[in-house]
């Protein structure tokens, strides 16, 4: 399985290391052509306005939207979650509009207030370790958006079909639960594109 990772800024190398630990092939994505042949795409942390500007200038924004429409799995963490949201507040900004949710930027406080916490998740019995770094808050999850984990009474990990978004950084922990779940989403897309056959 091949997972592309937007490699503009942020901790894309940490995502790659965790995916490779789980047996997936990774590819750094900086151009539309880099996304070809990928079963999934990760939009990592960083600065969402900077990333969105890059995506628009390089023609990657349209490619990502079409990738999602074809069933490609996409996982956005922190800034990546902001890029996926339909409604971005504080301040308002454009996005890829791939998930019906309202996100408030930097709502968990400044970087000095960042923390490591544990919260309930439907992905496993034990609490999920979450690293927040100036994380956004999901204020509203629309119809069809499943809440997979929470922190402080707010959704922290959500999913709509093939799209996954986290307001924390799972790649900065030793817990591979979230990335394993994403690889299952990407695997489902791979099977569909191969006509239901297992990949070789």
Quick: pLDDT tens for 58-109.
999 999 999 999 999 999 999 999 999 999 998 888 999 999 999 998 666 5
pLDDT greater than 80 at residue 114: no
15 among known catalytic residues:
no
The whole-number pLDDT of residue 66 equals 96
- Candidates 15, 169, 179, 181; catalytic one: 169
Chain center to CA of 122: 17
181 catalytic? Reply is no
pLDDT of residue 191: 63
CATH class of 2-193: alpha beta
For the segment 10-65, what is each residue's pLDDT rounded down to a tens digit? 789 999 999 999 999 999 999 999 999 999 999 999 889 999 999 999 999 999 99
- What confidence category does residue 113 fall into, taking pLDDT thresholds of 50, 70 and 90? low
All residues at 6 or more sequence positions from 14 whose CB lies less than 8 Å from its CB, including other chains:
169, 171, 172
For the chain, give every domain's residue range.
2-193
Place of tokens 């960083």: 46
Pick the catalytic residue from 15, 38, 78, 150.
78
Strands (E), 12-151: 25-29, 40-43, 73-77, 85-89, 99-104, 115-119, 128-132, 137-141, 146-151
Position 11 scores a pLDDT of 83
User: Which of 14-18, 114-118, 179-183 comes out lowest in average pLDDT?
Assistant: 114-118
User: Could you say which of 15, 129, 150, 171 is catalytic?
Assistant: 171
Active site (annotated) includes residue 171:
yes
112 pLDDT band, cuts 50/70/90, is very low
Q: What is the pLDDT of residue 195?
A: 55
């Amino acid at each position: 399985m091949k997972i592309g990772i937007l490699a503009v800024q942020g901790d894309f190398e940490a995502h790659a290391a965790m995916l490779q630990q789980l047996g997936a092939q990774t590819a750094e994505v900086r151009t539309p052509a880099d996304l070809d042949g990928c079963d999934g795409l990760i939009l990592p942390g960083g600065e969402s306005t900077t990333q969105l500007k890059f995506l628009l200038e390089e023609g990657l924004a349209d490619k990502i939207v079409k990738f999602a429409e074809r069933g490609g799995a996409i996982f956005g963490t922190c800034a990546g979650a902001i890029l996926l949201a339909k409604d971005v507040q504080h301040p308002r900004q454009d996005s890829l509009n791939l998930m019906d949710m309202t996100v408030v930027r930097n709502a968990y406080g400044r970087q000095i207030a960042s923390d490591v916490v544990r919260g309930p998740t439907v992905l496993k019995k034990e609490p999920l370790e979450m690293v927040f770094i100036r994380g956004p808050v999901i204020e509203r999850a629309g119809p069809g958006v499943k809440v997979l984990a929470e922190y402080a009474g707010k959704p922290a990990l959500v999913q709509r079909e093939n799209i996954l978004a986290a307001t924390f950084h799972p790649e900065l922990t030793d817990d591979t639960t979230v990335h394993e779940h994403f690889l299952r989403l990407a695997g489902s897309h791979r099977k569909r594109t191969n006509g239901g056959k297992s990949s070789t």
